[in-house]
Amino acid sequence: MPTDGGEQSESGDGTVRHFTVHHDGVTIPVSRGGRERPLVLCPGLNSTEADLHELAGLLRRDHDVVTFDLRGHGLASAADRYSFGAFLSDLVVVLAELDLPSAPVLVGYSLGADLAVHYASEHPDDVAELVLIDGANPLPAPFITDADLAEFREMADDLATEAERSKGTARQVLLTAQDIHDLNLEMDVVRSAILDRYRKIDHPISMIMSASVAGDSTEGRAPRHNHLWRAGIEQLVRERPHTSTSWLDADHRLVFTHAPEITQIIRSAQGPARPNSRPDLGRLVRC
Which pLDDT value is given to residue 125?
Answer: 93
> If you average pLDDT over residues 147-173, what whole number do you get?
91
Which pLDDT value is given to residue 145?
Answer: 92
Which pLDDT value is given to residue 287?
Answer: 33
Which pLDDT value is given to residue 274?
Answer: 31
- Residue 254 in this model has a pLDDT that exceeds 70: yes
Give the pLDDT band (50/70/90) at residue 58. very high
Lowest-pLDDT range of 69-83, 171-185, 251-265, 266-280: 266-280
Let me know: does 266 contact 146? Beta carbons within 8 Å.
no
Which pLDDT value is given to residue 162?
Answer: 86
Which pLDDT value is given to residue 8?
Answer: 58
Which pLDDT value is given to residue 9?
Answer: 56
List, for residues 63-114, the tens digit of each pLDDT value.
Answer: 999 999 999 999 999 999 999 999 999 999 999 999 999 999 999 999 999 9
pTM of this structure? 0.91
List, for residues 260-274, the tens digit of each pLDDT value.
Answer: 999 999 998 874 333
Which pLDDT value is given to residue 163?
Answer: 83
Q: In terms of Cα–Cα distance, which of 246, 241, 252 is closest to 187?
A: 252
Give the pLDDT band (50/70/90) at residue 6. low
The residue ranking higher by pLDDT, 252 or 286, is 252
Domains of the chain as residue ranges with CATH: 7-286 (3.40.50.1820)
Which pLDDT value is given to residue 103?
Answer: 96
Lowest-pLDDT range of 8-22, 163-177, 213-227: 8-22
> If you average pLDDT over residues 134-161, what whole number do you get?
93
